[in-house]
Chain A
Amino acid sequence: MNIIVCIKQVPNTTDVRIDPVTNTLIRDGVESVINPFDAYAIEEAVRIKERCGGKVTALTMGPPQAETALREAISLGCDEAVLVSDRKFAGSDTWATSYTLAAAIRKIGDFDVVLCGKQASDGDTAQVGPGISAHLDIPQVTYIKKILQISAQGARVERMTEEGYDEVETPLPCLFTVVKEINTPRMPSLKGMMRAKSAKPVKWTAADLEADPAALGLEGSPTRVLKIFTPVPRKGGEMLSGSAADVSKELAELLKDMVV
């Protein structure tokens, strides 16, 4: 079974701080990491491979330094890695990003499963996974929390909903987006780290993809950023003090209008 896992390199949110004077993001020294949700997708891809055989290809679109994320993916058990990188992709919104990734997946060719994290922690859109499946015209199951069964004939999975979950059956090839509950990612193995060190990710530019230039980057993106601003940070309010009974009484009184 051939599995492609799409990953994104994002700034580590734990490091994101707001400059109290200028009220802007402080980016110096912010570490880049694999999007936390993609770690679950990588782990699930490796588990499918361990169950069914085959190989896992990690795919990312991003600047040249995104190669680091691919090496990390290899250390976690991915077999191959593809970096799609070109200035022509700059300014891509989710439409153009999913178009570009779909074109790269077509070029990789033989695949049974595409796995994505449910969303990226910087953009938070959850649009690229479904976008890829729409461009490839393959079925999708989003927000999956468990793969019950998978073989060349198809898969049965549990899809998380607001109320619980749906059990869904799908033929392959298929795209899944995964939630955190699906697994606990392993640590990189020593062998994996050695492999990551010597691995040479495949690098493709726009010219390597069979893609319409007008559908790439800013030009292929229907949306535009009009402006970006920092929200007024939430300020703390009142501190209540006293015995448990006293503060409870005071608080209940303060919240009275909200709860009736």
Chain B
Amino acid sequence: MASITILLDQCTGCTLCLKACPFGAVHMANKKAVIDMAKCTLCGACAGACKFGAIELKDLSGPKRDLSAYKDVWVFCEQKKGHIQSISFELLGEGKKLASKLGVKLCAVILGSGIEPKIAELSERGADKVYLVDHPALQFYQDDPYTEALVKLVEEYKPEIVLCGATTIGRSLISRVAIRTGAGLTADCTGLDIDGKERLLLQTRPAFGGNIMATIVTPRHRPQMATVRHKVMQEAGIDKGNKAEVVRKTYPEEVFKSRTRLIETVEEISETINLSEADIIVAGGRGLGGNEGFAMIGELAKVLNGAVGASRSAVDAGWIPYSHQVGQTGKTVVPKLYIACGISGQIQHLIGMQSSKVIVAINKDPDAPILKVATYGIVGDALEIVPALTREFRRLLGKK
């Protein structure tokens, strides 16, 4: 069994471990660190922070597994109705960097029905190799056949890294594939890098609602799997000259059996832009006062070619559907521009949008927390400022 011990001879009482512990499990007694085992989760953050080698984390026993059979960086490329989703291009962009650091191939994996024509698109986005499974059961996402097909591919070709979008499909699929293949899986990464010596994928992700960041590794298992959020990585450029090698796989019919059955797909987002993919989001809160206020920010979003977001209180008031909610119990978004109108900025909302590149906040209350994170803050009535801003942008963009 794993255990953690403070080596009292080495401990200098510097309190670095106390500060590193995300679970409040370390305290000082007689100028030495003491670990409260009721709170400790053996996460190892303290051992990593200790500069004196005073914390011994006894981990796995037994010989290290041979991981040398695993190579290449894979990107699971999500398609909907035959269209490759933009997150896949972002992952190919990031995957290329990782593959070149490791000196291995970047491989795109695509599952679908009649998707042969998409190979060219993956090829020009820099894939060295494309693994393709084409079958009618893969036309739409279904948990069972997608899981089975991807597990088969992973077991046969043994990638060392698999990247996947942190989307509803990606998170549902890859979690099951990781269990089945005994892989390490890290969710919602915002930063990826390679430790060249150990060939480890360094996966950095927010936890506790973005209040802390953790770097996670998978030392003894392969593949190393990670999901990545939208808009965090740079899309791969287009190189028409790149020609990927194509591996087409077929499997027996039983692989494609689905216990669940998709009856229909309903698209109900009122605008054309998906919130998590939008570059610009105009969001409204309680300060908008009602449906008319939301019509106003809808207008601004339209002019900017952006999407409409909302705070929980606006959704709870019934002014806008839940699918627009940004924050802890809604969506996490990382647009280039987030315009918060009449949103006070409770921590649960900030968690969902504070990584946006530029934040504009318009609020009547000069003490509203949203103004403390805003790149540009305006103390004023959103109902007056939003229409004025819409007019300005219309003029600026030459729109009627």
- Which A residues fall within an 8 A CB radius of B? 11, 13-14, 16, 18, 22, 24-25, 27-28, 36-37, 63-64, 87-88, 90-95, 98-99, 121-131, 133-135, 139-143, 145, 156, 159-171, 174, 179-181, 213, 217-219, 222-231, 234-241, 244-245, 247-249, 251-252, 254-256, 258-260
Chain B, interface SS category = mixed
Name the B residues within 8 Å of A25 (CB-CB): 22, 24, 208, 211-212
The reply to whether A163 and B274 contact each other, CB–CB distance below 8 Å, is yes
* Contact (Cβ within 8 A) B184 A227: no
- Residue among A90, A95, A255 making CB contact with B41, cutoff 8 Å: A90
Is B384 interfacial (CB-CB < 8 Å)? yes
Asked if residues A139 and B144 are in contact (CB atoms below 8 Å), the reply is yes
The smallest beta-carbon distance between B141 and chain A, in angstroms, is 8
**How far in angstroms is the closest Cβ of chain B from A59?**
18
* Set of chain B residues within 8 Å of A254, measured between Cβ atoms: 376
Question: How many cross-chain pairs have Cβ atoms below 8 Å apart between A and B?
Answer: 316
Chain B residue at smallest Cβ distance from A159? B168
Partner of A164, one of B185, B262, B269, B375: B269
A103 to chain B, nearest CB (A): 13
Are A169 and B260 interface neighbours, CB within 8 A? yes
A222 touches B392 (CB 8 A): no
- What's the nearest-Cβ distance from chain A to residue B329, in Å? 5
Neighbouring A residues of B80 by C-beta, 8 Å: 163
Residues from chain A with Cβ under 8 Å of B217 in the complex:
223-224, 226
List B residues at the A interface (Cβ < 8 Å). 1-2, 19-20, 22-24, 37-45, 48-49, 59-61, 80, 140, 143-144, 147, 167-169, 171-172, 175-176, 178-180, 182-188, 202, 206-221, 259-269, 274-277, 280, 304-305, 322-323, 325, 328-330, 336-337, 346-348, 351, 354, 358-360, 371-381, 384-385, 388-389, 391-393, 396-397
Chain B residues near A98 (CB-CB < 8 A): 179
Q: List 15 A-B contacts (CB under 8 A).
A: A16-B209, A91-B2, A92-B41, A126-B171, A126-B187, A130-B176, A161-B168, A162-B167, A171-B260, A225-B43, A225-B216, A236-B373, A241-B378, A251-B376, A252-B389
- A121 x B209 contact (CB < 8 A): yes
Do residues A141 and B260 form an inter-chain contact, with CB atoms below 8 A? Answer: yes
Closest to A127 in B: B175
Given contacts A124-B188, A238-B376, contact A168 B42 (CB under 8 A): no
The CA-CA distance from A226 to B264 in the complex, in Å, is 44
Please determine whether A224 and B216 come into contact, CB atoms closer than 8 angstroms. yes
Query: What residues of B have a CB within 8 angstroms of the CB of A219 in the complex?
Result: 1-2, 59-61
Q: Which residues of chain B have C-beta atoms less than 8 A from A162's C-beta?
A: 167-168, 269, 274-277
B397 lies within 8 A of A260 (CB) = yes
Are A63 and B38 interface neighbours, CB within 8 A?
A: yes
Interchain CA distance A22-B185 in the complex, whole Å: 31
* A259 B175 Cβ-Cβ under 8 A: no
Knowing A167-B262, A167-B264, A168-B263, say if A160 contacts B43 (CB, 8 Å).
no
CB contacts (< 8 Å) of A241 on chain B: these are 378-379
Q: Is the CB of A171 within 8 A of B259?
A: yes
A13 pairs with B268, CB closer than 8 A: no
Given known A222-B184, A226-B215, contact A160–B24 (CB-CB < 8 A): no
CB neighbours of B397 from chain A (8 A):
259-260
A170 and B360 alpha carbons, distance in the complex (Å): 44
Known: A14-B348, A164-B269. A237 touches B212 (CB 8 A): no
Judge whether B260 and A13 touch: CB under 8 Å. Answer: no
Question: A167 touching B389 by the CB < 8 A rule?
Answer: no
